[in-house]
Amino acid sequence: MKTLIYQKKILEEVKDLPDKQISNLLKIIRIFKNSIIQQRKENVGLKKEFREWDKLSDEAFVDFERKL
């Protein structure tokens, strides 16, 4: 439901823009959307790296305790 409200607000904002500006706005929107998608992918990759690091550090700590 919120999406529809936002879409209407966006249309209201751009309704008087010339075609050239609409074209540029679409390019900006695509860049913004792609940057969000890329950021999400990088966040997922970073979280995976942190999990792997935690696992390795836990293993190292257990191995260290065994040697005590």
Q: What is the pLDDT of residue 9?
A: 95
Which structure tokens are listed for 39?
């950021």
**pTM exceeds 0.75, yes or no:** no
Q: What is the pLDDT of residue 27?
A: 95
Q: Tell me the pLDDT tens digit for each residue of 1-50.
A: 899 999 999 999 999 999 999 999 999 999 999 999 988 888 888 888 88
Higher pLDDT, 60 or 37: 37
CA dihedral 18, 21, 26, 32 (to 10 degrees): -150
What ranges do the domains of the chain cover?
18-67
Q: What is the pLDDT of residue 12?
A: 95
Q: What DSSP letter does each residue of 19-55 carry, written as one string?
A: HHHHHHHHHHHHHHHHHHHHHHHHHHHHHHHHHHHHH
